[in-house]
Structure 1
Amino acid sequence: MEIILAHAHTLMYTILALMPTRYQRDNLEAMLGLFLAADGKPLPHYSKAKSESALSRFLNTHPWCTRKLIYHVREQALEQINSHCPLGRKAFLQVIIDLTTLEKCGKFKGLDNLINVYNGKRGLHIVVLYLVIGKWRIPWNFRVWRGKVTSSPSQMALRMVRKLPKKLTQKFQVKILADTAFGTKDFINGIRKLKYHAVIGIGCNRKLVNGYPVKLLHRRGQQVQLVGLNFPITISWYYFKRDNGQFVKRYIVSTQPLKASTISWWGKHRWQIEGWFKTAKHRFGLDKFGQGTLLGIYRWFILSITAYLLAYWAYLSSSLTDSLDWGKAAFLALSTFIPHLILSLLLLDIERLRPLALSHGIDITISRCKI
């Protein structure tokens, strides 16, 4: 567990060193402090450490290298995984792909028509590649969908899969898990060319080569051939319970011959990414961006993901054995990696409330103790 904390400390020191000036390092700490509040509202407006305009300039215009920050976050994530890799048989690397909508209202003039409507939802649509290896959960990559006239979500996802580092793909058994939106013939053929195995959702009206839709099948575990594919796949299905209590039949296919129960088991594991979407949005404010530039939005996403990873690693390094409480995990990360920020905010609150305390006959004195 100390190794996890050491890697997290290294990451924190490294990304702070990327900032060209002390002023920008302070801005970075202030932004991470907002994200690690884990209240889902990391807006610069709520910052007590820096002004809203200073943080806005930090996100949108200040010249610090975003790519280097991404590179170092990934490198530390890889080191974390490799230092805790189980011995023996290769473990499974679950590569989960999904698309989520960060819903937005109003006009965003500087985003070059990136705000679109997809499946009835208006906002910024991002394709996310999420890795699961044992206890590790890593949002590895994302792409912003730019509309119907550009690359489709499945094409973007295939490019992200191709760019997975060999340090991962050669060390683990890769299993691609994707939703129905990625069940296109091009995506499935592309995954097969990469020699990966996949379990992917498909629509109930998807046609077999004999002309019948898959919804007419009555036996799970059959090997069938879909239109557009020149190789057989194994099909199964399971029933998914919606929030309203209704059950929906989900069809899934495997490019590898597996038992129907195994295919359904892998198909259900795809939903792990939905838990991350909820955490990222409701705790770490992934969808609360208000920037008017694409650079500002990318930086917002990256800092939100970095805060998530720091909180998760702090939890893994702790002795907590109960269920994961993201509020406690985020505070643990904040008090571990940026303790002076907490203390500075505490001193500001004391100074602000000093007149109130004096009016009630309380004199607050702060002195530095010798250590």
Structure 2
Amino acid sequence: MKPILVHAQALVYTLLNLMPTTDQRDSLQALLALFLEAQGHPLPQHSSMKSAGALSRFLNHYRWPTRQFIRTIRQQLVEQLLSYSGRGRRPWLQLIVDLTTLEKCGKFKQFAPLISVLQGKRGLHLVVLYLVVGQFRVPWGFRVWRGKGSPSAAQLAVRLIDTLPKVLVRAFRVVVLADTAFGSVPFLNAMRKRRYPVIVGVRCDRKLADGRKVQDLATKGQQVVLEGLSFPVTISWLYLKRDGKLEKRFVLSTRPLKGSTSTWWGRRRWSIEGFFKTIKHRFGLHCFGQQTLLGVYRWFVLCLVSFILAHWTYLSTGSALLPDWKQSATSALQLLLPDVAICLLLSQIERSRSLLQSRGLDLQLVSMKT
């Protein structure tokens, strides 16, 4: 198996080679450098390599193969995921789906139909599919929930899951983990039709076929039939600490599992919440103030691929500790885009030259001869 950094480097080279011109290749490197700063605000005006106007044109107007860009990323993801399957008993591939809101204020004429209000939050609402195998975890895709009258979040989740290649599904044992919003009858029926076991949150007042409610159950791991379903499910619960208090959360499993096992799987869903915090506060997913829908879409894709590169760099260290995303992103920039990292360093030195001179210092770079 190739080292994961080799795959990361190959991915970067392939993406750069997809750019039709040298100028667009430079713009792509400048944007990746912005995202890999991992400061949470990768705005084009902060770039020291390209002007904000050039980066805006690259995102919103220039013709470069966005779909081929995405296919290339997914090909590398599948190759990496398959390397985890190995021999013997197939490992579990967790398909975690959830909805996150990128809050926005003000008017956005170009993509106003995509802006809606959900649970008091106004902005762009993304349904995200997140894949987890061991320490390997990557975002696979996203869909925009457009509000009432459009396909529901659960329907969008089904479409996302259907984009997974069959070779990937055959190589693993698949389990779908989701929040309460995805526990609808159509979603559970759709996953049962695809033979994917589902472990999803369920409301405490959800009715059973016999007229009782989920909150009336007294035994974990009890098999019941929910109202509207034609097959039995297993109900369990867990306690989460919220504002210093313990909240009881119910979990539904379409497989007959022990109560402790259902609870264990139910907690695995929360790994996507950590991803949402990282992708927003470190990689600036919510800073998508572009002029066109294409620009917004490309912003999301570049943000996600930057997260993937930082994650792969972290995995290459073999560390068992929680990742330091700032350090991992900086290492990814230095290892995968060394010329860009050097260019940024030289720019910083040049901006600091007057400060050095004011202190009676001068800095010169000398080429080392081997």
Q: TM-score, normalised by structure 2?
A: 0.97
C-alpha displacement at 1:272, in angstroms? 0.7
Distance 1:245 1:129, change over 3 A: same
Q: Distance in 1 between matches of 2:248 and 2:281?
A: 28
Q: Distance in 1 between matches of 2:28 and 2:208?
A: 53
C-alpha displacement at 1:205, in angstroms? 1.3
Note if contact 1:238-1:249 (Cα within 8 Å) is conserved in structure 2. yes
Aligned residue identity for 1:63:
R
Note if contact 1:2-1:317 (Cα within 8 Å) is conserved in structure 2. no
Q: Distance in 1 between matches of 2:271 and 2:358?
A: 53
Which residue is 1:18 aligned to? Answer: 18
Aligned residue identity for 2:159:
R
> What's the Cα RMSD here?
1.4
C-alpha displacement at 1:48, in angstroms? 0.7
Which residue is 2:114 aligned to? Answer: 114
What are the equivalent positions in structure 2 for 1:187-266 lying under 5 Å apart? 187-242=187-242, 244-266=243-265
Show CA shifts across 1:84-139 (max 9, x none).
Answer: 43321010000001000011111111104211101111110000000001111010
Distance 1:249 1:320, change over 3 A: closer
Distance 1:368 1:237, change over 3 A: same
C-alpha displacement at 1:322, in angstroms? 4.2
C-alpha displacement at 1:20, in angstroms? 0.5
Which residue is 1:94 aligned to? Answer: 94
Which residue is 2:149 aligned to? Answer: 149
Instruction: Give aligned pairs, total.
Output: 370
Note if contact 2:93-2:132 (Cα within 8 Å) is conserved in structure 1. yes
What are the equivalent positions in structure 2 for 1:1-371 lying under 5 Å apart? 3-242=3-242, 244-318=243-317, 320=319, 322-371=321-370
C-alpha displacement at 1:337, in angstroms? 1.0
C-alpha displacement at 1:163, in angstroms? 2.1
Q: Distance in 1 between matches of 2:143 and 2:263?
A: 28
* Greater mean alpha carbon deviation, residues 317-326 or residues 109-118: 317-326
Note if contact 2:222-2:234 (Cα within 8 Å) is conserved in structure 1. yes
Q: Among the aligned pairs, what percent are the same residue?
A: 54
SS at match of 1:110: coil
Aligned residue identity for 2:58:
F
Note if contact 1:44-1:51 (Cα within 8 Å) is conserved in structure 2. yes
* Greater mean alpha carbon deviation, residues 157-166 or residues 266-275: 157-166
Q: Distance in 1 between matches of 2:273 and 2:321?
A: 21
Q: Distance in 1 between matches of 2:319 and 2:96?
A: 27
Q: TM-score, normalised by structure 1?
A: 0.96
C-alpha displacement at 1:323, in angstroms? 3.4
**Structure 2: 5+ residue runs without aligned partners?**
none
Q: Distance in 2 between matches of 1:32 and 1:305?
A: 10
Q: Distance in 2 between matches of 1:39 and 1:79?
A: 30
Show CA shifts across 1:37-64 (max 9, x none).
Answer: 0111111111111111111111111111
C-alpha displacement at 1:76, in angstroms? 0.7
C-alpha displacement at 1:229, in angstroms? 0.6
SS at match of 2:352: helix
C-alpha displacement at 1:350, in angstroms? 2.5
Note if contact 1:128-1:141 (Cα within 8 Å) is conserved in structure 2. yes
Q: Distance in 2 between matches of 1:86 and 1:245?
A: 43
Q: Distance in 1 between matches of 2:55 and 2:156?
A: 31
